[in-house]
Amino acid sequence: MTATTPSVDAAMSQIIAAEEEHVAHNYHPLPVVISRGEGAWVTDVEGKRYLDLLSAYSALNFGHSHPALLAAAQEQLNRLTLTSRAYHNDRLGPFAAALAALCGKDLVLPMNTGAEAVETGIKVARAWGYRVKGVAPDAATIVVAHGNFHGRTTTIVGFSDDPQAQADFGPFAPGFASVPFGDAAAIESAITDDTVAVLVEPIQGEAGVVVPPEGYLRAVREICTRRGVLLIADEIQSGLGRVGETFACDREGVVPDVYLLGKALGGGILPVSAVAADRDVLGVIRPGEHGSTFGGNPLAAAVGLRVVEMLQTGEFQRRAKLLGEHLESSLQTLIGHGVTGVRVAGLWAGVDIDPAVGTGREIAERLIGRGVLVKDTHGQTIRIAPPLVIRGTELDWAVEQLRVVLAA
Ligand SMILES: *Cc1c(COP(=O)(O)O)cnc(C)c1O
């Protein structure tokens, strides 16, 4: 099945058909074929330009082809790309030191994808539970939230409540309890003597940029501290500048015990993820117990270090905050005009589309024709997460295109 629409040019349809012939259909891409990217803009194979309001789900926070990130990658490509952790390399230490400092933590455990960072967080929490907290062998539980998205491994989809993520992939790993998102009392009730961690997204991205009630994270922090449970914040999508702060937890002045990072950490160039925590937590992992052939490779470390340096200035966080306020006020004007709800945190928005004007997917497809790329999530929502380098005038133009498409 191809996703082509009549508006798609014949040459483009051919490329899409050729791809779909040999690529498993685990995604349903929008019918556009990108061949170049620069800043907030991408260009298709026909030379048509589009404003990218998705940024690869926030993996491109710094935009496409950011010169400083490309330079870091290119310099490293010419020197050393991979050693495995069988040896030391001269890039991992500086990256880990900078990232630990950005997180205010002692240690970093480098991985590649977000799902691996989540898996690592789960393993660390369990090992901490048995070795430090004194939980009985194999009894550890972790509390998670309804509507969560933490990745696609079998353990992780096992505690998802999205039927599509789960169907026909069981049996699943035990040891997780799921409670409503945004309800701190429900977390407290789910905690037992065997609970080792609470794992939450401070803002749920995949669910449609769902922002919990003010005070939720502070309450969860207090509960975790009082009950002797680790707070693990999955900041893979919400972190690294997106919400106008370095981390979404910063919005409530909350410091989790464990940060899970990914996506933008790789600068939009390669997969880089990490777990950051203090020595009393992350120090429980001993040589031989966990690893990854590519985790902490020198190319990833060189790019990741440059990402951290770019965040150290605060410039991107400030941009996200200012542009986000601007975006929020312009999106609010669409309510009642094809939009039923808007949730915004920094430069990150979930826009609920009135079913009377179409599905999220239909709006995304119509926006292609007007040079704007967004992605739908959960049927009626479109997610807007532009590169943080986007200009205010470009955002205004994009919202105008959305207004036109909604009125059509
Ligand atoms: C994307 C995402 C993940 C998974 O990251 P991958 O790199 O796709 O494995 C985990 N948690 C959150 C919150 C995410 O948005």
Rounded alpha-carbon distances, angstroms, from residue 67 to 42, 63, 268, 307 = 15, 10, 12, 12
Q: Is 149 a catalytic residue?
A: yes
**pTM greater than the 0.95 cutoff:** yes
Q: Which atom of ligand 1 is nearest to the CA of 206?
A: 15
Residue 212 has pLDDT above 70, yes or no: yes
- 164: pLDDT strictly greater than 50: yes
> Could you tell me what percent of the chain has a pLDDT over 90?
97
| CA 237 – CA 266 distance, rounded (Å) | 12
Query: Closest Cα to atom 5, ligand 1: which residue?
Result: 114
Q: What is d(CA 133, CA 253) in angstroms, rounded to the nearest whole number?
A: 26
Mean of pLDDT values over 147-157 = 98
Q: Ligand 1 centroid vs 92 CA: distance in angstroms?
A: 22
Residue 407: which residues within 8 A CB-CB, separation 6 or more?
337, 338
Terminal-residue alpha carbon distance, the chain = 27
**Residue 235 beta carbon below 6 angstroms from any ligand 1 atom:** no
Does pLDDT of 37 surpass 60? yes
Quick check: 3 pLDDT over 70? no
Q: Is the pLDDT of residue 260 over 70?
A: yes
pLDDT value of residue 4: 44
Predicted confidence at residue 11, as pLDDT, reads: 85
Q: How confident is the model at residue 10 (pLDDT cuts 50, 70, 90)?
A: confident
Where residue 2 falls among pLDDT bands split at 50, 70, 90?
very low
Q: Is 169 a catalytic residue?
A: no
pLDDT per residue over 61-86, tens digit each?
A: 999 999 999 999 999 999 999 999 99
| Partners of residue 41 on adjacent β-strands | 38, 51
Say yes or no: CB of residue 113 within 6 Å of ligand 1. yes
Is it the case that residue 228 has pLDDT exceeding 60? yes
Residue 199, pLDDT above cutoff 60: yes
Residue found under tokens 């990745």: 151
In testing the pocket of ligand 1, which one of 157, 181, 263 has its CB within 8 Å of the most ligand atoms? 263
- Residue ranges of domains in the chain: 68-312, 315-344
Q: What is the pLDDT of residues 284-324, one digit of tens each?
A: 999 999 999 999 999 999 999 999 999 999 999 999 999 99
Q: Which pLDDT band, with edges at 50, 70 and 90, does 24 fall under?
A: very high
Average pLDDT rounded to a whole number, residues 252-256: 98
User: Is 316 known to be catalytic?
Assistant: no
pLDDT of the residue at 300? 98
**Which ligand 1 atom is the nearest neighbour of the CA of 234?**
13
Q: Which is catalytic among the residues 263, 294, 316, 321? A: 263
Query: Nearest to residue 279, comparing CAs of 90, 128, 93, 120?
Result: 128
- pLDDT per residue as tens digits for the range 322-337: 999 999 999 999 999 9
Chain centroid, CA 147 distance in Å: 15
What tokens appear for 91 in the block?
Answer: 């890039």
In short, whether 150's Cβ falls inside 6 Å of ligand 1 is: yes
Q: What is the average pLDDT score of the chain?
A: 96
68-312 has which fold?
Answer: Aspartate Aminotransferase; domain 2 (3.40.640)
pLDDT, tens digit (0-9, with 9 covering 90-100), for 174-195: 999 999 999 999 999 999 999 9
β-pair partners for 270: none
CA distance 48 to 369: 10
Ligand 1 pocket residue status of 259, Cβ below 6 Å: no
Q: Is the CB of 147 under 6 A from ligand 1?
A: no
Pocket test for ligand 1, best of 236, 275, 377 (most atoms within 8 A of CB): 236
Q: Whose CA is nearest to atom 10 of ligand 1?
A: 150
pLDDT the model gives residue 7: 59
pLDDT above 80: residue 351: yes
The pLDDT value recorded for residue 9 is 81
Catalytic residue among 149, 247, 294, 316: 149
Mean pLDDT of 29-36: 96
Ligand 1 contacts CB of residue 242 (under 6 A): no
Instruction: Compute the C-alpha angle 151/44/303, nearest 5°.
Output: 50
Q: 8: pLDDT confidence band, cut at 50, 70 and 90?
A: confident
pLDDT tens for 107-135 read 999 999 999 999 999 999 999 999 999 99
